[in-house]
Structure 1
Amino acid sequence: MSTFPASHTSITCTALGFSWPDGTEVFDGLQAAFGTGRTGLIGVNGSGKSTLLKLIAGELNPGEGAIRVAGDVGYLPQNVTLDTGLRVDVVLGIAETRAALHAIEAGDASEANFTAVGDDWDVEERAIATLDQLGLGHIGLDRTIGEVSGGESVLLRLAALLLGRPGVLLLDEPTNNLDLYARRRLYAAVEAWSGVLVVVSHDRELLDLVDQIADLRTGEIVWYGGNFSAYEEALAVEQEAAERMVRVAETDLKRQKRELADAHMKLARRVRYGNKMYAQKREPKIVMNARKREAQVSAGKHRIMHEEKLSQAKERLDEAVDAVRDDDEIRVDLPYTAVPPGRSVLTLSGLMLRYGAEVQGEFELRGPERIALVGRNGAGKTTLLRTISGELAAQEGEAVAHVPLRFLPQRLDVLDEKLSVAENVALRAPDATNNRIRARLARFLFKGAKADQQAATLSGGERFRAALAALLLAEPAPQLLMLDEPTNNLDMASVKQLTSALESYEGALIVASHDLPFLESIGITRWLLLDGKLQDITAEEVRELMSTR
Structure 2
Amino acid sequence: MATHPTFITCSSLSFSWPDGTGVLDDFRLAVGPGRTGLIGLNGSGKSTLLKLIAGELAPTEGTIRTVGEVGYLPQNLVLDTALRVDEALGIARVRAALHAIESGDPAEEHFAAVGDDWDVEERALAALDQLGLGHIGLDRTIGEVSGGESVLLRLAALLLARPDVLLLDEPTNNLDLPARRRLYAAVDAWSGVMVVVSHDRELLERVDQIADLRDGEVSWYGGAYSAYERALAAEQESAERMVRVAEADVQRQKRELSDAHMKLARRKRYAQKSAQNKVVPKIVANNRRSEAQVSAGKHRALHSERLDAARERLDAAVEAVRDDDEIRIELPRTTVPPGRGVLTLTDLELRHGAWAGTFELRGPERIALVGRNGSGKTTLLRTIAGELPPVAGEVEAHVPLRFLPQRLDVLDDELSVVDNVARFAPTATANTIRARLARFLFKGARADQPAGTLSGGERFRATLAALLLAEPAPQLLMLDEPTNSLDMASVGKLTAALEAYEGALIVASHDVPFLESLGITRWLLLDGTLRPTTAEAVRDGLLLSEPGRGEARRADQE
Q: Which moved more, 1:479-488 or 1:9-18?
A: 9-18
Whole-Å Cα distance in 2 between the matches of residues 455 and 239 of structure 1?
33
Whole-Å Cα distance in 2 between the matches of residues 533 and 250 of structure 1?
61
Q: Match for 2:448 among 449, 452, 455?
A: 452
Spell out, residue by residue over 1:30-49, the C-alpha distance to the aligned partner (whole angstroms, 9 max, x if none): 12111111111001111110
Q: Match for 2:225 among 224, 228, 232?
A: 228
Spell out, residue by residue over 1:367-407, the C-alpha distance to the aligned partner (whole angstroms, 9 max, x if none): 11111111111211111111111111111000111111111
Q: Match for 1:410 among 390, 406, 411?
A: 406
- 2:437 matched residue in structure 1: 441
Pairing 1:327–2:324 present: yes
Q: Match for 1:44 among 31, 41, 44?
A: 41
For residues 15-94 of structure 1, the aligned pairs below 5 Å read 15-94=12-91
Whole-Å Cα distance in 2 between the matches of residues 489 and 108 of structure 1?
49
Q: Which moved more, 1:223-232 or 1:265-274?
A: 265-274
Q: Is the 8 A contact 2:71 2:163 kept in 1?
A: yes
How high is the TM-score relative to the length of structure 1?
0.96
For residues 24-423 of structure 1, the aligned pairs below 5 Å read 24-360=21-357, 362-423=358-419
- 2:555 matched residue in structure 1: none
- 2:464 matched residue in structure 1: 468
Spell out, residue by residue over 1:144-194, the C-alpha distance to the aligned partner (whole angstroms, 9 max, x if none): 111111111111111111111000000011111112221111111111111
Q: 1:233 to 1:7 in 2, by over 3 A?
A: farther
Whole-Å Cα distance in 1 between the matches of residues 504 and 99 of structure 2?
58
How high is the TM-score relative to the length of structure 2?
0.94
Q: In structure 1, the residue corresponding to 2:541 is in which secondary structure? A: helix
Q: Which moved more, 1:203-212 or 1:269-278?
A: 269-278
Whole-Å Cα distance in 1 between the matches of residues 297 and 272 of structure 2?
17
Partner amino acid, structure 2, of 1:12: T
Whole-Å Cα distance in 2 between the matches of residues 413 and 145 of structure 1?
24
Pairing 1:543–2:539 present: yes
Whole-Å Cα distance in 1 between the matches of residues 468 and 102 of structure 2?
64
Whole-Å Cα distance in 1 between the matches of residues 360 and 124 of structure 2?
47
How far did residue 548 of structure 1 move? 8.9
Q: Which moved more, 1:157-166 or 1:116-125?
A: 116-125
Partner amino acid, structure 2, of 1:15: S
Q: 1:280 to 1:162 in 2, by over 3 A?
A: same
- 2:550 matched residue in structure 1: none
Spell out, residue by residue over 1:100-133, the C-alpha distance to the aligned partner (whole angstroms, 9 max, x if none): 2122222223332222112211111111110001
Whole-Å Cα distance in 2 between the matches of residues 198 and 337 of structure 1?
42
Whole-Å Cα distance in 2 between the matches of residues 454 and 146 of structure 1?
34
Whole-Å Cα distance in 1 between the matches of residues 201 and 3 of structure 2?
24
Spell out, residue by residue over 1:249-302, the C-alpha distance to the aligned partner (whole angstroms, 9 max, x if none): 111111111111111112222222222233334434443333333322222111
Whole-Å Cα distance in 2 between the matches of residues 332 and 301 of structure 1?
52
Partner amino acid, structure 2, of 1:324: V
How far did residue 439 of structure 1 move? 2.0
Whole-Å Cα distance in 1 between the matches of residues 219 and 239 of structure 2?
16
Q: In structure 2, the residue corresponding to 1:9 is in which secondary structure? A: coil
Is there any run of 5+ residues in structure 2 with no aligned partner, and where?
Answer: 547-558
Q: In structure 2, the residue corresponding to 1:170 is in which secondary structure? A: strand
Partner amino acid, structure 1, of 2:462: A
Q: Which moved more, 1:137-146 or 1:433-442?
A: 433-442
- 1:501 matched residue in structure 2: 497
Whole-Å Cα distance in 1 between the matches of residues 9 and 287 of structure 2?
66
Q: 1:330 to 1:6 in 2, by over 3 A?
A: farther
Whole-Å Cα distance in 2 between the matches of residues 87 and 16 of structure 1?
38
How far did residue 432 of structure 1 move? 2.3
Whole-Å Cα distance in 1 between the matches of residues 226 and 256 of structure 2?
45
Partner amino acid, structure 2, of 1:170: L
How far did residue 7 of structure 1 move? 4.8
Whole-Å Cα distance in 2 between the matches of residues 236 and 6 of structure 1?
29
- 1:520 matched residue in structure 2: 516
Is there any run of 5+ residues in structure 1 with no aligned partner, and where?
Answer: none
Whole-Å Cα distance in 2 between the matches of residues 84 and 477 of structure 1?
40
Q: Is the 8 A contact 2:527 2:545 kept in 1?
A: no
How far did residue 219 of structure 1 move? 0.2
Whole-Å Cα distance in 2 between the matches of residues 420 and 16 of structure 1?
32
Q: Is the 8 A contact 2:275 2:281 kept in 1?
A: no
Q: Is the 8 A contact 2:14 2:60 kept in 1?
A: yes
How far did residue 420 of structure 1 move? 2.2
Whole-Å Cα distance in 2 between the matches of residues 46 and 278 of structure 1?
70
Whole-Å Cα distance in 2 between the matches of residues 6 and 80 of structure 1?
36
Whole-Å Cα distance in 2 between the matches of residues 267 and 416 of structure 1?
66
How far did residue 430 of structure 1 move? 2.4
Spell out, residue by residue over 1:189-241, the C-alpha distance to the aligned partner (whole angstroms, 9 max, x if none): 11111110000011111111111110000000000111111111111111111
Partner amino acid, structure 1, of 2:160: L
Q: Which moved more, 1:271-280 or 1:529-538?
A: 271-280
- 1:532 matched residue in structure 2: 528
- 2:425 matched residue in structure 1: 429
Q: 1:315 to 1:548 in 2, by over 3 A?
A: farther
Whole-Å Cα distance in 1 between the matches of residues 82 and 434 of structure 2?
49
Whole-Å Cα distance in 1 between the matches of residues 329 and 395 of structure 2?
27
Partner amino acid, structure 2, of 1:315: E
Whole-Å Cα distance in 1 between the matches of residues 432 and 371 of structure 2?
40
Partner amino acid, structure 1, of 2:533: I
RMSD of aligned residue pairs (Cα, Å)? 1.7
Spell out, residue by residue over 1:340-380, the C-alpha distance to the aligned partner (whole angstroms, 9 max, x if none): 221111110000112211123x2111111111111111211
Identity %: 76
